[in-house]
Amino acid sequence: MIGLAPGTSRVPASLARMIRACLSAACASALAINLAGCDRAPEPAPTASAVAEPAPVVATAAPAPSATPTAEIATPGQPSQSRDPAEVMKDWAKAVQMRDWATVRAFWGEKGEKSGLSTQDFAAKWASLLDPKVTVYPGEQEGAAGSSYYTAPVRIIDGPRTVRGDVVLRRVNDVPGATEEQLRWHIESSTIAP
């Protein structure tokens, strides 16, 4: 036992009082802590959607009205011609959700050639998405050497699978001699691997 002299079997009275006082204080503290939490509702368990993510792009969050809005995919295989990169990303997301792989490919530079895949190979690669739900988050725009870039984070949920990555749009600034293809926002690169 603690504090006992050798050969002693009894706890001195002063030590016993001290132990009782400490145990009483500890029990009273534990009881007070437990009772304080009784009137509160339990906190809900965090869900997958509780993970901090930037808010998705909303139609009203567009920086400026588009010169050529494209609310629906008017012609399959034709990318958005909007001058608003957030709207271009929204249209791209719509094409992915519709599984319109010809249109999704056409968002790349040179009407899809910059994707590095033929129309058939592109469709085969993206066809692994069976029921994609796309969320495009607000992007950041910057300029460099005569071009503008817009990088947007993207999340694609396809059943139990989630694909995340960034899409980088690019367009040549309004300079004399620039072609219509160079002036449109198009996908320059992407880290999305369906």
pLDDT digits (tens, 9 = 90+) for 126-154: 999 999 999 999 999 998 878 999 999 99
pTM above 0.75, yes or no: no
Contacts of 83 (CB under 8 A, 6+ apart): 64, 66, 67, 68, 185
% the chain with pLDDT above 90:
49
- How many angstroms separate the CA atoms of 127 and 31, rounded? 60
pLDDT over 50 at 49, yes or no: no
Extents of the domains making up the chain: 55-190
| Model confidence band, residue 6 (pLDDT cutoffs 50, 70, 90) | low
Computed on alpha carbons and rounded to an integer, the radius of gyration of the chain in Å comes to: 31
**CATH tag for 55-190 (out of 3.30.70, 1.10.10, 3.10.450, 3.40.50):** 3.10.450
| Dmax (CA) of the chain | 104
